[in-house]
Amino acid sequence: MVAIAPSSADSEAGLPPLTGGPHRARLGVISIVACFGGLLFGYDTGVINGALQPMSAELGLEALTEGIVTSSLVFAAAFGALLGGRVSDGVGRRSTLIALAVLFFIGTLVVALAPGFAAVVVGRVLLGLAVGGASTVVPVYLAELAPFEIRGSISGRNEVAIVSGQLAAFVVNAVLGSTLGHVDGVWRIMFAVCALPAIALFVGMLRMPESPRWLAERGRRDEALAVLRSVRAGERAEAELEHIEARVAAGVAPRGRARLRPLLANRWLRRVLLVGIGVGVAQQLTGINAIMYYGTAVLEESGFDRSAALIANITPGIIAVVGGLVALRLMDRIDRRTTLLTGFALTTLCHALIGIASIALEPGDPIRPFVLLALVVAFVGAMQTFLNVATWVYLSEIFPLRVRGLGIGIAVFAHWLANGALALAFPSLLEAVGITGAFFLFAAVGALALWFIATNVFETRGRSLEALEADIASGELFARR
């Protein structure tokens, strides 16, 4: 078990306390605008759940090409995450988010107007690059703007936005599928809806500030102080800037864009990177996105007909949003490590129960679909309350400033590769071993994830990003087990 030893770098106690006022409202507005990136992430990953069937009927897709259409976004997101982190280190978090909004809009138009399979894949790749970029840049932007006392609840808003986007996709799919399901091209309308939040993100970010930590690292002190004064009381803003500048001055990495070689050469940074990769990949291998991408197919396999499955699929989406809101309440009250351990324990239990129920209740049993739906909802609720928000918050916290974009980009790159492999393989897995085999496999992976979290994850709650960075540089963060 990794614990944090007390550190002389913990200068948080010397910072003036947080106070109310217009600056707190300003921070709230910034987080809402930035979270349109999370909303787009959620909608674009969730819309395929209901759009795939009418798209397949119109374009003549089969199992393999359906998997390619679904997973093309996810694999592209892996590279978008890597590139997004690098670009944001170079040109800034705000500028990167503005560029991603444009990419979201272009990708949406390409898919909605696609004449065939190849064009759909091109559009999904563009959307994937945007989704991956948003998945790295939005959490970092929010973490670098938030005071350490409430960083968990501020950064965690992005995950709530993601599942809200997925829920919106499920509702739009159900409404359009029920009312316009007989119309050719209804799936195009499902995708076109995504253009609206892309426009909102572009317009909103034009009025938002740059990350003060990124500005300070570039030596732009006056701009960094102006941003901090807009989201903190005056005395607190100046004290935080001094804290940030002290860590920038103590940094060992060269100014400018982060490089991979120094990151891998430093034993402590290398270890942090491995922890970040492990947490991200473990979260994906719970199979949560098998539900988010193929939930309708899973519910049909459990015994619902097509129309009922589309409507029932909204339930996990609702629970995901509720779980996310609960998670925001918990993030600044419960340690990250405890939250992750609880989440993997509960999701692994749900996997095992789904497998057992699918054996005990044979196909054709009238209660089978409802029991499996209840267990899927319980799994999604546990996942969202204890794992999804915590994972994205944790990844945004653990990397030092000068390699933060690169570090989270690599970790999320691995996260998206695992996601893509699952998206590509799940239809074949479901066909080969059914619900029973698939969820018993997820349970086995969950047990391995519990071991990894228990033996490798260190705590970050209640500490400034600069104090964490100091303990990483000294190795003190890993000193005691």
| Whether 471 contacts 308, CB under 8 Å | no
- Per-residue confidence (pLDDT) for residue 137, from 0 to 100: 95
Tokens coding 124: 């999904």
- Per-residue confidence (pLDDT) for residue 259, from 0 to 100: 67
Q: Dihedral of CA 37/339/377/395: which sign?
A: positive
Tokens coding 4: 């944090």
Q: Compute, in degrees rounded to 10, the torsion defined by CA atoms 394, 400, 402, 406.
A: -40
Which amino acid, residue 107? Answer: G
Nearest Cα residue to 398 out of 389, 407, 406, 390: 407
Half-sphere exposure of 140 (CA within 13 A, CB side): 35
- Per-residue confidence (pLDDT) for residue 251, from 0 to 100: 59
Beta strand ranges found along 308-466 (DSSP E) = none
| Whether 325 contacts 160, CB under 8 Å | yes
pTM: 0.80
- Per-residue confidence (pLDDT) for residue 465, from 0 to 100: 84
- Per-residue confidence (pLDDT) for residue 281, from 0 to 100: 94
| Whether 174 contacts 313, CB under 8 Å | yes
Q: Specify burial of residue 57 (Cβ count, 10 A radius: 0-12, 13-18, 19+).
A: exposed
Q: Compute, in degrees rounded to 10, the torsion defined by CA atoms 86, 90, 91, 93.
A: 50
Q: How far apart are CA 81 and CA 79, in angstroms?
A: 5
If one counts every other C-beta atom within 10 angstroms of the C-beta of residue 362, the result is 8
| Whether 112 contacts 192, CB under 8 Å | yes
What is the residue-level pLDDT of the chain in tens, covering all 481 positions?
A: 333 333 434 445 577 887 888 888 999 999 999 999 999 999 998 898 788 889 998 999 887 888 788 889 988 999 999 899 889 988 999 999 999 999 999 999 999 999 999 999 999 999 999 999 999 999 999 999 999 888 988 988 998 899 899 889 988 988 898 788 778 889 999 999 999 999 999 999 999 999 999 999 899 999 999 999 999 988 899 999 998 888 777 754 444 455 677 777 788 889 999 999 999 999 999 988 777 667 777 777 778 876 777 677 788 888 888 998 999 888 888 999 999 999 999 999 999 999 999 899 888 888 988 898 889 889 989 998 999 889 989 998 898 877 888 888 899 899 888 988 887 788 778 888 888 898 999 999 999 999 999 999 999 988 888 888 888 887 787 765 4
